[in-house]
Structure 1
Amino acid sequence: MTSPVRLVPVDYAALDDNALVAQVRSGQREAFRHIMQRCNQRLFRIARSVVGEDAEAEDVLQESYMRAYNKLDTFRGDSTLLTWLTSIVLNEARGRLRKRHTMVGLEQIDAAPDDTHHVIRFPSKFGNEDPAVSAARAQIRHLLEHAIDELPEAFRTVYVMREIEECTVEETATLLAIKPETVKTRLHRARRLLRTSLQGTLAVTMSEAFPFMGQRCARVTEAVMARLDLQVGAR
């Protein structure tokens, strides 16, 4: 009598991105959960840099993940999976901005002198009184997020990609379809505006800006998985 075949559970966390893509293509939707969990932080930050609001950025992520899942067969590996997903998120986020009819012409932004845009100035509350307190750091991060929100969208997206997500100039230029020199110019102006607002004291909290882990990460991931279940059930 032949013994039953025992299926070995897949250790998705140990797989690289290309292996995860292969798993999804073979019908393993659980692998897509791990793709989302790996990419959520960066993609949320970039979506939010465009639309400027948490809830809508989450919606952008959900729609982008659904698009990505349904067109995963078109991913050829010419770029990294994260870069490919970033381009989808940017397209979705920008499409929403176009529907608002509030976008300022990028040529006007790039050609304008540095002092035509103003960031709301936040008063310094902490100084050297209590720099080690975690609550103070959280408040400073909150100020940083608000100051970034006040940047013009074209500057804000470049700033988030270069300074927070540490994308290269070349990657940023490619994803935003602008020249590398334009990336450098917008980043320079964004820094000047933020220095005016925040007085250059927030570098230590930069990596903690716009957190996406914990409940928010789980909420988006579970929502997309539920939608994928419904999509498969409808076929």
Structure 2
Amino acid sequence: MHTLERIQDANDPAAPTDNELAARAAQGDALAFQLIMRRHNRLLFRTGRSILKNDDDAQDALQDAYLRAWRALGSFRAEARLSTWLVRIVANEALGRLRRRGGAQVIPFDTAVEPVDTPEGMWMQADPDEQPERSAMRGETRKLIEAGIDALPEVFRTVFVLRAVEDLSIEEVAAALGIPEATVRSRFFRARGLLREALSREIDVAIGDAFSFAGARCDEIVARVMAVITGPPPGPPA
């Protein structure tokens, strides 16, 4: 494996740990922060997108969240996982954008929610012309899954993305979103049931490809953040 790829892979025993990278970045090491971004880009992009439901908005939120994280790294304590700390920053940034945007109710993650009364699968039928045929190839199935996740009720959606798409544990999701583990379990199974009803058995085959964030898109967000944190300091206020 290429050296850079090994460094980015947190599971490689030769790679620095997240805590080691965080400590270096807190001392101003921009390269260490770049490695943190590349290691967690997909998880954090998916977190933001699960709230904002738009790729461009999620990328903008991710960039601002990374800048917040860069400035706040000195306050990070290794009591929690770095990924959990970063997820909370991204989620708060995305929720803040929803509040500022207005026009839609923003429901905090720790709010108790009664089961929706809409019959299973009906929430997917707002625009049936956008749904590909069941015989579509995997690429089209992935698009259908992404549309289905976007259509989930808000409080279910981020839980599902973190638990099913990103494969975080129940404990990790609960810690990241600040909700009880029992709430994570109930919302996850409710969301999974809704998707299974609407999307059929193909969900398990294509779910791992949903909301990919790699290659040029990954490079772009890293370059944008690095340009800010390594650029000249701002001048004195006018």
Q: Same fold (TM over 0.5)?
A: yes
**Partner residue in 1 for 2:124:** 119
**Which aligned pairs between 1:50-65 and structure 2 lie closer than 5 A?**
50-65=51-66
**Which aligned pairs between 1:77-96 and structure 2 lie closer than 5 A?**
77-96=78-97
**Larger gyration radius, structure 1 or structure 2:** 1
**Which aligned pairs between 1:59-208 and structure 2 lie closer than 5 A?**
59-101=60-102, 102-103=104-105, 105=107, 110-115=113-118, 118-120=123-125, 122=131, 124-126=133-135, 136-208=137-209
Give structure 1 stretches of 5+ with no counterpart. 1-10, 128-135
User: C-alpha distance in 2, partners of 1:20/1:104?
Assistant: 34
Deviates more, 1:157-166 or 1:109-118: 109-118
CA RMSD of aligned residues (A): 2.4
**1:185 Cα deviation from its structure 2 partner:** 1.9
Give structure 2 stretches of 5+ with no counterpart. 1-5, 9-14
User: C-alpha distance in 2, partners of 1:105/1:87?
Assistant: 15
User: C-alpha distance in 1, partners of 2:111/2:172?
Assistant: 23
Deviates more, 1:141-150 or 1:198-207: 198-207
**Deviation >4 Å, runs of 4+:** 104-109
Question: Number of residues paired by the alignment?
Answer: 217
User: C-alpha distance in 2, partners of 1:197/1:179?
Assistant: 27
Q: Percent identity?
A: 40
Contact kept, 8 Å, 2:132 with 2:140, in 1: the verdict is: no
TM-score by length of 1: 0.83
User: C-alpha distance in 2, partners of 1:207/1:27?
Assistant: 35
TM-score by length of 2: 0.82
SS of structure 1 residue aligned to 2:201: coil
